[in-house]
Amino acid sequence: MLDPVLLRKDIQFVIAQLARRGLSFDVERFNQLEASRKEVQVETENLQASRNALAKEIGKLKSQGQDASEIMAKAAAIPDQLKQLEEKLSSIKNELDAWLMTIPNLPHESVPMGKDSDENVEQRRWFPDGGYQSNREPEAFAFEVQDHVSLGEKLGLEFDTAVKLSGSRFAFMRGAVARLHRALAQFMLDTHTSLHGYTECYTPYIVNASTLFGTGQLPKFKEDMFWVTKGGDDVDENGQVVPKEELYLISTSEITLTSTVKDSIVASTDLPIRLTAHSPCFRSEAGSGGRDTRGMIRQHQFDKVEMVQIVKPETSYETLEQMTGHAEKILQLLKLPYRVVLLCTGDMGFGSSKTYDLEVWIPSQNTWREISSVSNCEAFQARRMGARYKNEQGKNEYLHTLNGSGLAVGRALVAVMENYQQADGSIVVPEVLRPYMGGVEVLKA
């Protein structure tokens, strides 16, 4: 959520930064709400001052043995008036907060201007046989490449079975492909915990609405979520109907990992917090417009290993570069060609101030596809969650939160299958995965 204090102090800066994202800020609405808030606060302060003055006068009259009943009657009416003003102020604040919840984060000054992904800025490319080589193109195969769907048909990747069970945009895996999928997730977790200092977590896959408000998925992205309802028909032990509640399947474990500091004041000595988890992710793909209907690139259910760091504000941009490097390390160890792209203002996520995407080479599509997105949300999520720490001066300050895929497991499986394919349709297992595959070096039909 945007900082209300910043809005009051420098609204022109906020307007200019949102304009970089192609958004117009309703200044008139904000000024009206601010004027109403100030009016109620001034009225409240005046009434409180009046209550204090009347209390003194009542005390004085009573000490002199005089009748204070008329003044006491005035004072007796004040608590109800203050309560009404408190409710009015709460209503104004709730309206402001609900509105600010729908406004995205401000972009960092280093984020390039742009309307969409076509205006993202490539930072670097990496190749297994040459390291960083920015002007290089991936080499063509000596044979006609197959996509992961065709390769997987003989190895246990069954989309027809998934359609029978659940419908489109699901996958069913068995045998060697299922084991390779699991090996990728285990390898990613082991790398992040042993090399990068993250603590492995296991999190719920279903969360309540307040958790999603905190991390920014609600209210804006409800249609991208899957949800279930609980209660409404049940009766508790006292015979009362249990209120109906909506619960949501997580679209990423960023939600649960970041929310571990919700409504908390974290000790400065506990920072930075580094968390990682492997979880399924559920997305309705409501806005996908029919893209990537073939294969595993865009699924309703997919697995991801997530990285989250919760840090002091002064270290968050250094941490963003560090986390991007952590995601890159996975691709380097897998020896997969990739590039790093800085997202422009028009392509950034709702809660992000700055985002790097890692895009892996997909031979069958002859293009780079996103496999990781690493973002600094600054205090945007922390403000929504009430997540703070005590700074050097002993004052409570909002934390900065960062998240990144480390990596999307399904897309990593696609990249391994396609980049390691052989002319006969077999797939060489990357060296770092062989210990997780019982020493198997090649997957064959």
Give the residue from 134, 121, 12, 26 showing the smallest Cα distance to 346. Answer: 121
Residue 254 assigned ligand-binding role: yes
Q: Indicate if the pLDDT at residue 289 is higher than 70.
A: no
pLDDT tens-digit profile of 230-256? Answer: 877 777 778 787 788 899 999 999 999
User: Residue 66: what pLDDT?
Assistant: 87
Asked if 416 and 313 count as a contact pair (C-beta separation under 8 A), the reply is: no
Asked if 207 and 226 count as a contact pair (C-beta separation under 8 A), the reply is: no
Give the residue from 367, 370, 421, 376 showing the smallest Cα distance to 400. Answer: 376
pLDDT tens-digit profile of 194-233? Answer: 999 999 999 999 999 999 999 999 998 999 999 998 877 7
Asked if 19 and 106 count as a contact pair (C-beta separation under 8 A), the reply is: no
Give me the architecture of the 26-101 domain, per CATH: Orthogonal Bundle (1.10)
Q: How many alpha carbons fall within 13 Å on the CB side of residue 308?
A: 27
At 30, list the tokens: 């904000």
pTM: 0.92
Q: Indicate if the pLDDT at residue 156 is higher than 80.
A: yes
Average pLDDT of the segment spanning 165-173? 96
User: Residue 327: what pLDDT?
Assistant: 98
Asked if the bond preceding 61 is cis, omega within 30° of 0, the reply is no
Residue 28 assigned ligand-binding role: no
Residue 252 assigned ligand-binding role: yes
Q: Indicate if the pLDDT at residue 445 is higher than 90.
A: no
Task: Say which range, 119-123, 134-138, 186-190, has the weakest mean pLDDT.
Answer: 134-138
Give the residue from 96, 76, 80 showing the smallest Cα distance to 32. Answer: 96
Residue 292 pLDDT class (50, 70, 90 cuts) = confident
Q: Indicate if the pLDDT at residue 352 is higher than 80.
A: yes
User: Residue 286: what pLDDT?
Assistant: 66
Give the residue from 332, 351, 400 showing the smallest Cα distance to 106. Answer: 351
Residue 71 assigned ligand-binding role: no
Between CA 342 and CA 251, with CA 260 as vertex, the angle to 5 degrees is 55
Average pLDDT of the segment spanning 338-350? 98
Give the residue from 266, 267, 375 showing the smallest Cα distance to 317. Answer: 375
Q: Which residues contact 33 (CB under 8 A, 6 or more apart)?
A: 92, 95, 96, 99
Give the residue from 346, 351, 329 showing the smallest Cα distance to 402. Answer: 351
User: Where exactly are the structural domains of the chain?
Assistant: 26-101, 117-204+251-443
Positive or negative, the CA dihedral 234, 240, 246, 250 is negative
Q: Which helix (H) or strand (E) holds 15?
A: helix 11-20
- Helix, strand, coil in percent for the chain, rounding step 5: 45, 20, 35
Count of C-beta atoms within a 10 Å radius of residue 224 = 15
pLDDT tens-digit profile of 39-76? Answer: 999 999 999 999 999 889 888 888 888 888 888 888 89
Residue 34 assigned ligand-binding role: no
Residue 58 assigned ligand-binding role: no
Q: Where are the alpha helices (DSSP H) in 101-194?
A: 148-153, 159-165, 176-194
User: Residue 261: what pLDDT?
Assistant: 98
C-alpha–C-alpha distance, residues 339 and 53, integer Å: 70
3 state SS of 121: strand
* Percent of the chain predicted with pLDDT > 70: 99
C-alpha–C-alpha distance, residues 134 and 425, integer Å: 30
pLDDT tens-digit profile of 278-287? Answer: 999 999 986 6
Residue 284 assigned ligand-binding role: yes
C-alpha–C-alpha distance, residues 381 and 351, integer Å: 7
User: Residue 288: what pLDDT?
Assistant: 65
Quote the distance between the C-alpha of residue 146 and its chain's center.
Answer: 34
Average pLDDT of the segment spanning 380-388? 97
Average pLDDT of the segment spanning 330-336? 98
Per-chain mean pLDDT for the chain: 95
CATH of 117-204+251-443, one of 3.30.70.270, 3.50.50.60, 3.30.930.10, 3.40.50.300: 3.30.930.10
Average pLDDT of the segment spanning 279-308? 88
